[in-house]
Amino acid sequence: MRALNLITLLLVIVGGVNWLLVGLANFDLVATLFGGQDTALATIVYVLVGLSALWQIVPFAKAMSVGETRAEANIGGHR
């Protein structure tokens, strides 16, 4: 489960950076890397990023129910 969370988090970050580039420079990195927005590979990446965002709702909801994320709890090296 940890590996899946890390992979989906990485894909969400990739999607966020891609949207940043689209917003700031009208540059779609995914489309550029995979030959255009309409290619099968780009479509797969877009779908995986979207599914990853949905998957990340689960740990987010768990963190919200606890009231503090583990990352926040470990700020400053305290465990």
Count of C-beta atoms within a 10 Å radius of residue 42: 18
- Predicted structure pTM score: 0.77
> pLDDT digit string (tens) for 30-78?
999 999 999 999 999 999 999 999 999 988 888 888 766 565 665 555 5
pLDDT at 63: 82
Dist CA 9 CA 13 (whole Å): 6
Cβ 5 vs Cβ 59: under 8 Å: yes
Q: How far is CA 69 from CA 1, 4, 36, 72, 74, in A?
A: 17, 18, 38, 5, 9
Dist CA 60 CA 18 (whole Å): 22
